[in-house]
Amino acid sequence: MYELSELTKKYETKRGPISALNKVSLSIPTGQMVAIQGPTGGGKSTLLQMLGALERPTSGTVTLGGEELSAMPDSRLAEIRARTIGFVFQGFNLIPTLTAQENVETALAPLGLSNSDRRLRARAALEKVGLGERLTHHPAELSGGQQQRVAIARALVKEPKVLLADEPTGNLDEQTRDEIMELLEGLWRDEGLTLIIVTHDSAVAKRAERRLHLKHGSVTEKK
Cβ count within 10 A of residue 43: 23
| Residue from 153, 164, 184 nearest 86 by CA | 164
The pLDDT score that the predictor gives to residue 45 is: 87
- For 60, the enclosing helix (H) or strand (E) is strand 59-64
CATH number of 1-84+160-223: 3.40.50.300
Q: Is 112 helix (H, G, I), strand (E, B) or coil?
A: coil
The pLDDT score that the predictor gives to residue 208 is: 94
Q: Is 40 helix (H, G, I), strand (E, B) or coil?
A: coil
| Rounded Cα–Cα distance for residues 69 and 63 (Å) | 6
Per-residue CA distances from 165 to 15, 35, 48, 99, 156 (Å): 31, 9, 8, 22, 12
Given a contact cutoff of 8 angstroms between Cβ atoms, the answer to whether 212 and 34 are in contact is yes
Kindly report the length of the chain. 223
Domain spans in the chain, listed from the N-terminal domain onward:
1-84+160-223, 92-156
**What does the CA dihedral 164, 205, 177, 33 come to, rounded to 10 degrees?**
40
The pLDDT score that the predictor gives to residue 146 is: 95
Q: Which residues pair with 5 in a beta bridge?
A: 61
Given a contact cutoff of 8 angstroms between Cβ atoms, the answer to whether 28 and 196 are in contact is yes
Instruction: Give ∠ CA 100-103-107 in degrees, rounded to 5.
Output: 140
| Residue from 56, 31, 59 nearest 196 by CA | 31
Q: Encode the chain (223 residues) as per-residue pLDDT tens digits.
A: 899 999 999 988 888 788 899 999 999 999 999 999 988 888 888 999 999 999 999 999 999 999 999 889 999 999 999 999 999 988 889 999 999 999 999 999 888 899 999 999 999 999 999 999 999 999 999 999 999 999 999 999 999 999 999 999 988 899 999 999 999 999 999 888 999 999 988 999 999 999 999 988 899 987 6
The pLDDT score that the predictor gives to residue 77 is: 93
| Rounded Cα–Cα distance for residues 100 and 63 (Å) | 34
